[in-house]
Amino acid sequence: MKLKILTVLLIFIYALSFINEFNTANITGAFNRGREQGSRTENNIHYITVKSPKRENSEFINTLNNDSIEIEDSTSILRIEDNTSNILLTTSKFFIMFLFTIALVYSFSKTIRYLKKLFKGNYLNLEQITRLKQLAYALLLCGILGNLVAFIDNYEASRIASLYNLEAVKGDFNFTMFFIPLILLMIVEVLKQHLRLKEDAELTI
């Protein structure tokens, strides 16, 4: 019973991390930008976040009437038309997102199958251990691909910003996506060892 509860909690926590990573605001914004870019296929429209110089914020600071407040950093989202985009990067990103989608669907399918067997009382057998291992590798692949997309986005944003002597704000890498898969792989090794000991004990008897 404890294994069932812990497994469900583990998957629930990982689902929350996905929701946090791909929240509604980001998805909606990306959809709207993609729709606008798609309607102008003759141009390459990019949205990048850049750091704004402090001097541009002086008027805002003055309206606060408080000398103890100082703006350390400010950003602006720019809509830039760039015709020098690297087709290789664009193709690579599309292919990576395609693989990410497949890995995500595969992970969901494996999770459903594993939970069905788990709640039927089947958890310590080779089939379930193999299924859990496949789930862990699929989630690990999702983490790698997700961070690879972030790397490409940061590189492209920095490249475009440098054309206008601007400094792009780079997105963060989400290394938390690796925690759950690695924990699952550890659980797999423990279950394999337990199954091996159980089989040895049965042979001894």
Asked whether residue 108 carries a pLDDT value surpassing 90, the answer given is no
What is the identity of the amino acid at 23? N
Angle between helices 2-21 and 87-119 in degrees, nearest 10? 160
Asked whether residue 102 carries a pLDDT value surpassing 90, the answer given is yes
Among 68, 35, 72, 36, which Cα is nearest to 53's? 72
Query: Per-residue confidence at 204, pLDDT binned at 50, 70, 90?
Result: confident
Mean predicted confidence (pLDDT) in 108-117? 85
The DSSP string of 74-106 is -EEEEEEE-S---HHHHHHHHHHHHHHHHHHHH
Mean predicted confidence (pLDDT) in 173-201? 83
Mean predicted confidence (pLDDT) in 94-116? 89
* Range name among 6-20, 126-140, 145-159 with the lowest pLDDT average: 6-20
Q: What percent of the chain has pLDDT over 90?
A: 8
Please give the model's pTM, rounded to 2 decimal places. 0.69
Asked whether residue 40 carries a pLDDT value surpassing 50, the answer given is no
Asked whether residue 38 carries a pLDDT value surpassing 60, the answer given is no
